[in-house]
Structure 1
């Protein structure tokens, strides 16, 4: 894994790769006091090595062999791709998918009820959803989803068609359909009971009967905690659609 920043322990400061390159090109001997005392910019535990540029490659920072990051360090986690997530979910039954979603929403509910503000869901909780076996002679990294809290303006240039674990608290849920049918076509998310639609979730017809039953029992006047895995599709003159990665990758309570 390559880094763009490093932590210089003696100076207790973050030094970018760009600054290191400038110091090295100016005076390698003086720069050596920095490049031989660098650590992970996140956990400050794992030692980093500065690899000088060559004729074919730019200089870069990497973890020293056998040097460990803290378990909670973000560099232990690698963002999971849409393709892998879809393949992963296809191996699970609807019951297994809902069990994993339930563990995430329980984690969020615990943090909401604690003294700590629930800014993000624990990386370790999300990591339990996506783990890959270590490859031979390679460092094992946990696959993890990007997270996005549903509480503010949704920027198209940042979110369009990118896979996220979306979560929100104190949201109002409503169901709607395009025609008179037994099952609803959409699940609407609202910031308050009378506001316009914030996000709309097209409901797959293949979702489990349990999830369908829960959706049919939604109380329009109640606030919900909501979690879903998918991507946002932005529509002209309308609220964005949240396209689920799997028919059962949705939970609320």
Structure 2
């Protein structure tokens, strides 16, 4: 079985605080995996450690079967961080063109991808506006469009739908499902429990530990509840007992 991401016994602490405690997580090819949990649970730290932006204290983290950080592997990933990293004095189109070229996309293909990704995130009419004049939600949408450029084998999206209205969120999830059908994979973090229902598998992260990891319907069945939110609440209460 081909794993796009494979984390084994991953551990990370800052000073004396253990942020990730023996994390096991994997993402298969042609799969959308959700990583959910409240703010401060360790979702972003999991991604940062996985990508080599933070050094793990123990365990193994492989991305595309490679220990990170690795520049060649980064070129195959579409990464959207929790905070936007955009050139605000440039227009959205100029940002997309710059980052597309950084990913090796040029010519007509780049123009086509810019128009497609702008359409997905509903920024087509605002491509020629300077990013400094964008709202926070528009910047998130532009960051997502940049991550989609280059048709990456793996998308790693950290809270991509924050500040995005429900109709556009549905459109974005349609795009993610299309990506899955193309034998590509997605790891997405969110605190929106409804989004977890749309994944192939979902990992519940609490207090630096993954307390459950399976298909959403399987987790609901195992915990005897109807929604992933109820799974999370029940698993959390069981941890506290």
TM-score (norm 1): 0.27
TM-score w.r.t. structure 2 length?
A: 0.28
Return the structure number with greater helix share: 2
Which one has a bigger Cα radius of gyration?
1
